[in-house]
Structure 1
Amino acid sequence: MRIGELSRRSGVPVPTIKYYVREGLLPAGELTSPNQARYGDGHERRLRLIRALLDVGGLSLSAIAEVLTAVDDPGQPVHEVLGVAANRITPTEAAESGDAGPESAEAREEVAALLARRGWRVDEGNAAAQALAGVLAALHRAGHGGFVELLDVYADAAEPVAHADIDYVRRRVAREDLVESVVVGTVLGEAMLGALRRLAHVDASARAYGDGEGAAGAGGR
């Protein structure tokens, strides 16, 4: 297909496609003449992945380049590719904003204990582990360190969700589709889980403290 058709099929403007080619994010098309190139389905798939990483994952172009480098490396195990993608879109602001003080040290110990207790094959330096430590440190500073008692309750809920996510990802065939599934699952999946948790909160609050339909409605405000 010509670049115009690629643009129509992918929804990405022609100038943007050319920019991605110049930046090395998208392979150049096969030249059919000095001024014409032919593109294939692989280019359309790559554009879809770039847009997912950019629009859904919120990654910078430099971060996208790192992910694509991992995707294009045939010697890179799929687990490592997915790890690169997931780590680039895991929010770490909480960890970065509170990386000093006794609360942070205690939080890191709690995360390490959780990983050991659950037998999770995750390095303590993982971005998500650091983000969790940041959240726990913030809870300690806010005087709610007791919330750590709920860690295993949250972990019990997270495990089946994680396995369902990976089962979905495993149904993808192309490596690009694998990474796109991780991006969408991490960002939109977390949003969906958060919304479901809030809905459950409304119901639980109404049952615990409410006195009928009016209380349930109030909890939804």
Structure 2
Amino acid sequence: MRISELASSSGVPIATIKYYIREGLLPAGRPVAANQADYGEDHLRRLRLVRALVAVRGLPVSTAADVLAVLGDGRGESVHRTLSRVLAAMDTARARDPAASDAGLAEVHGLVAAMGWHIPPRSAAVDALARALDALDQLGIRFGTRALLPYARLAERTARVDLDLLAAPAGGDPAEHAVLLAVLLEPALLVLRRMAQEHHSAAHGPDPAQPGGADRP
């Protein structure tokens, strides 16, 4: 297919496709003339994967490129090893963030110990959670180990469900399947949490700010 057909099939503008090719996220097409190239179904699938990482998951283009590179060179290693490397690649974008405070790190280390998790004490995830606690603390919201424990237990149950879904469909790439579930399902889980909050908030009663809300029985 021509690049115009690739754009039409994927819904991605031609200029964006050319940008992804320049950045190495999408392979170039097969040259068929001086200014023309041919693209196949592999290009269409790869383009949809790139758009999912960038537009749905919200990864920076450079981070999406790192994730795709891991998927490309991870053939032959275990699914869990590939997934671990992908998550590490995603964390590189946070390495430039301000350092977490000692107090925030202490709270997270306490949580990790309470949950019995085997996580390096200065992993990117530990730093990210500590920075989030620092931000809450600066706004006057003290959110420590005890408050985090119920969330950690929910997260552990969710992770177990994730691992049960890692097996790829017949003929599929197990590593890519696992990465797509782990990376792309995360925004869906956040939306589910928001929907549950909306439901339970509404169940507490009408909002007085809504027209007629204060007059309802």
State the TM-score, normalizing by the size of structure 2: 0.74
Contiguous gaps of at least 5 residues in structure 1: 207-215
Point out which structure has higher relative CO (alpha carbons under 8 A, 6+ apart).
Answer: 1
Aligned to 2:215: none
Identical amino acids, percent of aligned pairs: 37
CA RMSD in angstroms, aligned pairs only: 3.3
The 5-angstrom pairing of residues 1-221 of structure 1 reads: 1-74=1-74, 77-86=78-87, 88=90, 96=97, 99=100, 104-142=101-139, 144-145=141-142, 147-171=144-168, 173-174=172-173, 175-200=175-200, 203=203, 206=204, 216-218=205-207
Contact 2:29 2:38 (8 Å CA) reproduced: yes
Q: 2 CA distance for matches of 1:32 and 1:156?
A: 56
Which is further off, 146-155 or 170-179? 170-179
Q: Which amino acid aligns with 2:65?
A: A
Q: Which amino acid aligns with 2:50?
A: I
Contiguous gaps of at least 5 residues in structure 2: 211-217
Q: 1 CA distance for matches of 2:167 and 2:181?
A: 9
Q: 2 CA distance for matches of 1:192 and 1:98?
A: 30
Q: 1 CA distance for matches of 2:35 and 2:194?
A: 50
SS at match of 1:21: helix
Q: Give the deviation of 1:157 after TM superposition.
A: 1.5
SS at match of 1:180: helix
Q: 2 CA distance for matches of 1:201 and 1:90?
A: 36
Higher helix content, 1 or 2: 1
State the TM-score, normalizing by the size of structure 1: 0.73
Contact 1:139 1:147 (8 Å CA) reproduced: no
